[in-house]
Amino acid sequence: MTYHSGSRAIQDRVGVRDLADHMGRAVGRGIRPVAAAFLELQPMLVVGAAVPESGAGAGGGASGRGAESGAEPGRGAGAGARAPENGAEPGSHAETGAELGRGVESGVESGKGVETGAEPGRGVGSEGGAAPGGGDVWVSLLTGRPGFLRATGPHQLSVVGGLPAGDPLTAALATPGTLVGAIALDPRTRRRMRLGGRVRPTPRGFAVEADRVFANCPKYLQKRETYETVADRAAGVPRRDRELTASQRQFVEAADTFFLATVHANGADASHRGGNPGFVHVDTPGELSWRDYPGNSMFLSLGNLAADPRAGLLFLDWTSGAVLQLTGTARTEFAPDGERTVRFTLTEAVETPGASPLRWSAPAYSPANP
């Protein structure tokens, strides 16, 4: 795999180029059986991308595609709910699920090592091709009964269902070749799997032709033992703002988790950020900041921001299912002692009450949280 110049610049500034090269060997292009089994256990997927310029801004695009006959449709944030008549479907936390969670780190096809002589500017694992859309970067949540995510080939993730009408990424996921980043995160096992590639719309939803697949360590990931699907929860009307409201500021400052989408010339990435409540600061109604904690030393997200400042954030209320999507730009500041702070400037916010039908149990905070 190859790092583009943005990631290389930050690796060199921090002094971790050799470690980044070592970590990069774990990035592959294939989805092995243990990783495929992990995906099939997940009730949610987070996807990030830049929207096509013709679909820039929230609310563009058609409704999500229907499910395959005989299969339960996946549910985009805000799509119709489906659950047993008793009002809740317990989430599974079987021993096999934990086993697969532990195994996912070895369940990606191993990389070929760090390439040399690569074309400058190439993204991690990228094959070149179309650049990301020229519009805003957003990150969206899809949910469904386990099985709505499947590896349908050694390099393909298929998703049954889609986003609801009005989601900022609807147009992007309906456009063949859109560069996307995705993350499947399992709070029950504190495991996560990241994937990047190109979208191909299908009659059942969409598929991602993967050119990058890898797992992360459980750092900063809060454990939530169980979830249930709330039968009568329906998404409310999205609210759009140019600045955060007082209640949205409280939402952000109480968060222990958010998802970050970034892009570069030949790809997109979706990642997780976590910490104790209060780790994200709302400095003004239009500005957020957070400390960048030590991670895998690849600096994919910060490297992307160095090359292209567009970013999308997603905050999830794990109990009520409310989702707050933000788009804007971000930059990284370095203190004399080496501490890194990311500062995000808001362009637009979309808040959707009850967007996710999943109600998760209370968190056990990661021992890695500062």
How would you class 176 by CB atoms within 10 Å of its CB: exposed for 0-12, middle for 13-18, buried for 19 or more? exposed
Q: With beta carbons less than 8 A apart as the criterion, state whether 146 and 26 touch.
A: no
Put simply, whether the predicted model's pTM sits higher than 0.85 gets the answer: no
Q: How far apart are CA 181 and CA 324, in angstroms?
A: 19
Q: Please report the pLDDT score of residue 11 as a whole number.
A: 94
Residue 172: partners with Cβ closer than 8 Å, 6 or more residues away: 49, 50, 51, 52, 55, 61, 133, 138, 178, 180, 199
Bridge partners of 288, per DSSP, are 282, 344
Distances (CA, A) of 204 to 112, 126, 171, 197: 33, 26, 16, 19
- The 10s digit of each residue's pLDDT in 183-229 is 999 999 999 999 999 999 999 999 999 999 998 889 999 999 999 99
- The 10s digit of each residue's pLDDT in 120-141 is 333 333 333 456 768 999 999 9
Query: Three-state SS for 299?
Result: coil
Give the residues of the chain that fall short of pLDDT 70: 54-131, 133, 165
